[in-house]
Amino acid sequence: MNLWGGRFTKPTNQLVYDFNASIKFDQTFALQDIKGSIAHVKMLTKQQILTEQEGKDIENALQSIYQEIEQGRLAIDESCEDIHSFVESTLISRIGDTGKKLHTGRSRNDQVALDMRLYTRDQIQMMHTLIIDLLKTINDIMKEHIDTIMPGFTHLQKAQPITLAHHMGAYFEMFKRDATRLDDIYQRMNICPLGSGALAGTTYPLDREYTASLLGFDGPCLNSIDGVSDRDYLIELLSAMSTMMMHMSRLSEEMIIWNTNEYQFIELDDTFSTGSSIMPQKKNPDICELIRGKTGRVYGALMGLLTTMKGLPLAYNKDMQEDKEMFFDALTTTKGCLQLLSDMLKTTSFNKDKMKASATGGFTNATDAADYLVGKGVPFRDAHGIIGQLVLYAISQNKALDDLTLEEFKNISDVFDQDIYQAIDVNTCVNKRNTIGACGQEAMKKVIELNNQYLSQY
Ligand code: ARG
């Protein structure tokens, strides 16, 4: 059934019909569409725009359609133009003329705006649950690896010793910001566009506050033109998802590096790795690579919608139908990646010995050696120079700083004493850094406690 046609004398060209139709993708929110219609009917009845009987008949029929679709007993007819036409024509085929009253005081413009909001709200909640699970996984790794020493990097060069807990703690902060971004978006988008009509509102005495409260919104939108043409919340969510993907991609990249033969910091579980069809020895980090790769898709969806919306005059334009496919794809992609990353991390084993050995070589304790001299009264700039010479000498001897004899130390500066060995031990280097946010055990314990507190709300 077409929802229009009265003013036309010729049928639509088939290619035009197919190009215009959205049922293939807007059936995604079939249930939200019906939920919205039920609230609309309840409100129309309360306002005596429909009789009690009409309201009851429409509502009951919509409830059955809802359940049948949910249970897979009613197939969606893809020859309809969109999901709104499908639901309405199914309703009319079941209860006749009364069904034709459902669309009183409503337009597809405010209807689709409502459906997307209802759908997106559910999706934000699902995504939030997945992010919290990922944060729990990361926090568990932090608890377990508070004394697992590894090198921290700058420029992908070994810089200073840190712990795995500290390194993973950086990702905890990133994903926590992502979770709070979802909270913000939800709070801003939770207003009801229904009642905006096509753009100008309606002549019926709708109770928009009532409809909004039935659907769990904080209230109705305050401008009907904006109500039908606002897609900001989708752009905000795509932006938040892009940032999440960027964070997941960075961690994936590190896991790819850590998983190489050269590093061997981690071992991915067999259940989360894949093989090569030709090279029998291979165990590839495909999941990490796919997360890294799929980041581009989500960025693409963000750029796509920003570009679609750019230059659109108020109010509704059919361009806006393009808000759906790439957005749905971005949601599926991001949720899938969150789930996989969390499950993969849960099964990954960390090679403590390799990490510690790597942190011990490579002069990661050079800063601490300089600080040692400062502790003995040498100005930092001079200390920096002395340690530079020491490193140069150690490289020529193919030794780590820890392996130099006291005599070798003293040849460079006689300020050095026996206690230098203790001062540059990696454990000392890590555990002397105990200001909040640093890698030392005491500092990490405080942060983990704060993480626990944050997570205990969920
Ligand atoms: N399929 C349309 C969309 O996604 C529904 C709204 C149609 N409104 C209209 N005036 N043609 O945007």
Report pLDDT digits (tens) over 424-437.
999 999 999 999 99
Looking at residues 131-138, what average pLDDT do you find?
Answer: 98
120 lines ligand 1 (CB under 6 A): no
Do 193 and 227 contact (CB within 8 A), yes or no?
yes
* CA 107 to ligand 1 center in whole angstroms: 9
Q: Which long-range contacts (CB under 8 A, 24 or more apart) does 436-443 make?
A: 438/166, 439/152, 439/161, 439/162, 439/163, 439/165, 439/166, 441/146, 441/147, 441/163
Whole-number Å distance between alpha carbons of 148 and 150: 7
363-394 pLDDT tens trace: 999 999 999 999 999 999 999 999 999 999 99
Cis amide linkage into residue 315, ω under 30° from 0 = yes
In Å, what is the CA distance from 10 to each residue of 2, 5, 13, 21, 72? 13, 9, 9, 18, 36
Q: Which of 112, 119, 230, 234 to mutate to test the pocket of ligand 1 (most atoms within 8 A of CB)?
A: 112
Retrieve residue 219's tokens. Answer: 């209230």
| Residue 66 neighbours by CB distance under 10 Å | 19
pLDDT tens track for 57-115: 999 999 999 999 999 999 999 999 999 999 999 999 999 999 999 999 999 999 999 99
Q: Is the pLDDT of residue 1 over 80?
A: no
- Is the shortest distance between the CB of 315 and ligand 1 below 6 Å? no
In ligand 1, which atom is closest to the CA atom of 82? 1
Q: Helix crossing, 52-70 with 83-95: angle to 10°? A: 120
In DSSP terms, 158 is beta-bridged to 153
Contacts of residue 414, Cβ cutoff 8 Å, sequence gap at least 6:
none
Tokens matching residue 66: 């809802």
Rounded to the nearest angstrom, the distance between the alpha carbon of 71 and the centre of ligand 1 is 27
Site to probe by mutation for ligand 1, drawn from 82, 194, 196, 229 as the one with most ligand atoms within 8 Å of Cβ, is 82
Distance CA 73, CA 75 (A): 6
Confidence of residue 21 (pLDDT cuts 50, 70, 90): very high
Residue 305 burial by CB count (10 A; 0-12/13-18/19+): exposed, middle or buried? buried
pTM score over 0.75: yes
The response to whether residue 372 sits with its C-beta less than 6 Å from ligand 1 reads no
pLDDT of amino acid 411: 96
Q: Would the CB of 321 count as within 6 Å of ligand 1?
A: yes
Among 45-59, 204-218, 269-283, 308-322, the least confident range: 269-283
pLDDT of 37 > 70? The answer is yes
Nearest CA to ligand 1 atom 4: 321
Which atom of ligand 1 is the closest one to the Cα of 316? 10
Catalytic position from the list 128, 155, 247, 384: 155
Centroid of ligand 1 to alpha carbon of 236 (angstroms): 21
Q: Ligand 1: does its nearest atom lie under 6 Å from the Cβ of 431?
A: no
Could you identify the atom of ligand 1 that is nearest to the CA of residue 318?
A: 12
Q: Is the CB of 360 under 6 A from ligand 1?
A: no
* 70 Cα to the center of ligand 1, angstroms: 23
Task: Name residue 136's beta-bridge partners.
Answer: none
The finding on whether 29 has its CB within 6 A of some atom of ligand 1 is no
Task: Tell me what the pLDDT averaged over the chain comes to.
Answer: 96
- Tell me: pLDDT of 201 over 90: yes
274 phi, psi to nearest 5 deg: -130, 165
Q: Give the number of other CB atoms < 10 A from CB of residue 101.
A: 20
Ligand 1 within 6 A of CB of 109: yes
Nearest to 158 by CA among 443, 367, 371, 373: 367
Q: How far is the CA of 28 from the centre of ligand 1 (A)?
A: 15
Is the Cβ atom of 229 under 6 angstroms away from ligand 1? no
For ligand 1, whether the C-beta of 320 sits within 6 Å is yes
Please check the confidence at residue 5 and state whether its pLDDT lies above 90.
Answer: no
Note if 155 is an active site residue: yes
Give me the amino acid identity at 266.
I
Per the CB < 8 A criterion, the answer to whether 103 and 88 are in contact is yes
For the CA of 84, the nearest atom of ligand 1: 5
Q: Is 456 a catalytic residue?
A: no
User: Rounded to an integer, what distance in angstroms lies between the CA atom of residue 233 and that of residue 225?
Assistant: 16
User: Which residue's C-alpha comes closest to atom 10 of ligand 1?
Assistant: 109
CB 301 within 8 A of CB 388: no
